[in-house]
Structure 1
Amino acid sequence: MTQHRSAPSTASTGELTSDSPVEATAAANAPSTGARRGRSLLPSNTLLRHLLVLLVCAVGAVVLLEVTDAFTNSQLAQLTYYAIAAGGLTVLTGLNGQISLGHGALMAVGAYTTALFLDADEPLPLPVVLLVAVLLATVVGALVGVAAARLHGPYLAGATLALAVGLPSLAIHFHDTLGGEQGLRVRAPQAPQAFDDFIGLVSGNSASNTKWLAYVGTICLLVTYFLLANLVRSRIGRTWRAVRDQEVAAELAGIDLGVWRVLAFVVSAAAAGLAGGVLALVVRLAAPSGFTLVLSLGLLTAIVLGGLGSLLGALLGSALLVFLPPFVTDLGADLGLDSTEAAQLAPFVYGVVLIVAMVFAPAGFVGTIRQRWHGARARRAARDAAQA
Structure 2
Amino acid sequence: MATLSLPTRGPLATRLARHVGIAVIGLVVVLVLLQILSPFRVTQFTNMGYLAIAAAGMTLLTGLSGQLSIGHGAFMAIGAYTTALLLGDGEGNLPLVVVLLVATFVSVVVGAIVGVAAARLHGPYVAGATLALAVAVPAVAIVFTEQLGGEQGLTLVVPPAPGWLLDASFFLTGTEMDDTGYIALVAWVCLLVTFVVLANLSRSRVGRVWRALRDDDVAAELAGVNLSRARIVAFVVSTACAGLAGAVMALSVRIAAPSGFGLSLSLLLLCVIVLGGLGSLAGALVGAGLLTFLPQVVRQIATNAGMDGISAAQLSPLIYGLVVMAVILMAPSGLVGSILRARHRRRGHHTTMPTTRHGAPAMANPRRSE
Q: Aligned ranges for residues 292-371 of structure 1 at < 5 Å?
A: 292-371=262-341
In the other structure, the counterpart of 2:182 is 212
2:125 aligns to what? 155
> Which whole-Å deviations, capped at 9, do the CAs of 1:153-172 have from their partners, x for residues lacking one?
22111100000000111001
Q: Does 1:178 align with 2:152?
A: no
Q: Please state how far the C-alpha of 1:380 moved relative to its aligned partner.
A: 10
- Judging changes above 3 Å, is the alpha-carbon distance between structure 1 residues 219 and 252 closer, same or farther for their aligned structure 2 residues? same
2:173 is matched with 203
Where does residue 164 of structure 2 map in the other structure?
A: 194
1:134 counterpart residue number: 104
Paired residues of 1:54 and 1:226 also in contact (CA < 8 A): yes
What does residue 96 of structure 1 align with?
65
Structure 1: how far apart are the matches of 2:191 and 2:170?
23
When the two structures are superposed, what TM-score results if normalisation uses the length of structure 2? Answer: 0.91
Match of 1:121 in 2: 91
1:63 equivalent among 8, 32, 37: 32
How has the CA–CA distance of structure 1 residues 376 and 150 changed in structure 2, closer, same or farther, with 3 Å as cutoff?
same
Q: Taking structure 1 as the reference length, what is the TM-score of the superposition?
A: 0.87
Aligned twin of 2:6? 32
1:122-173 Cα distance to aligned partner (Å, 9 max, x none): 2311111111100100011111111111212221111000000001110011
Could you tell me which runs of 5 or more consecutive residues in structure 1 were left unpaired when the two chains were aligned. 1-20, 382-388
Structure 1 position 60, deviation (Å): 1.1
After TM superposition, give the deviation of residue 77 of structure 1 in Å: 0.8
In 2, Cα distance between equivalents of 1:307 and 1:248:
25
How do 1:226-237 residues align onto structure 2 when only pairs under 5 Å count?
A: 226-237=196-207
Residues 1:133 and 1:379: Cα distance change in structure 2 (over 3 Å):
closer
Amino acid across the alignment from 1:360:
M
Q: Deviations over 1:7-32 (max 9, x none)?
A: xxxxxxxxxxxxxx4xxx2xx12x32
Q: Quote the offset at 1:206 in angstroms.
A: 2.9
SS of 2:348's equivalent? helix
> How far apart are the structure 2 equivalents of 1:153 and 1:255?
19
Which piece of structure 1 moves more, 188-197 or 101-110?
A: 188-197
The residue type paired with residue 186 of structure 2 is V
Instruction: Map Cα deviations across residues 68-107 of structure 1 (whole Å, 9 max, x no partner).
Output: 1111111111111101100110110110000001100000
Give 1:131's aligned amino acid.
Answer: L
Q: Is the 8 A contact 1:307 1:313 kept in 2?
A: yes
Residue from 134, 159, 163 that aligns with 1:164: 134
Larger Rg: 1
Give the counterpart of 1:73 among 38, 42, 56.
Answer: 42
Distance between the aligned counterparts of 2:120 and 2:275, measured in 1?
A: 27
Give the share of equivalent positions with the same residue, in percent.
Answer: 53
Other structure's SS at 1:101 match: coil
Counterpart residue number, 1:4: none
Q: Output the CA distance in 2 between the equivalents of 1:108 and 1:129.
A: 15
SS at match of 1:309: coil
2:361 corresponds to: none
Kindly state the Cα deviation for residue 378 of structure 1 after the two structures are TM-superposed. Answer: 1.2
Per-residue deviation at 1:197? Answer: 1.5
CA distance in 1, matches of 2:203, 2:45: 27
Give the distance between the partners of 2:75 and 2:343, measured in 1 at CA. 36
CA-to-aligned-CA distance 1:326-348 (integer Å, 9 cap, x gap): 11011111110001110011111
Matched residue of 1:168: which SS?
helix
Deviations 1:242-300 (A, max 9, x none): 10011111000111111100000000011111001000000000000000000000001
Aligned residues between the structures: 349
RMSD between aligned alpha carbons?
Answer: 1.7
Aligned twin of 2:225: 255
What amino acid does structure 1 have at the position aligned with 2:55?
A: A
Q: Measure how far apart 1:367 and its partner are.
A: 0.7
Amino acid at match of 1:78: N
Partners of 2:25 and 2:97 lie apart in 1 by: 23
Counterpart of 1:84 (choices 23, 28, 53) is 53
Q: Distance in 2 between matches of 1:380 and 1:217?
A: 40
The 1:380/1:235 distance shift into structure 2, 3 A limit, reads closer
Distance (Å, rounded) in 2 between the aligned partners of 1:37 and 1:183: 48
Report what 1:384 is aligned to: none
More helix by share: 1
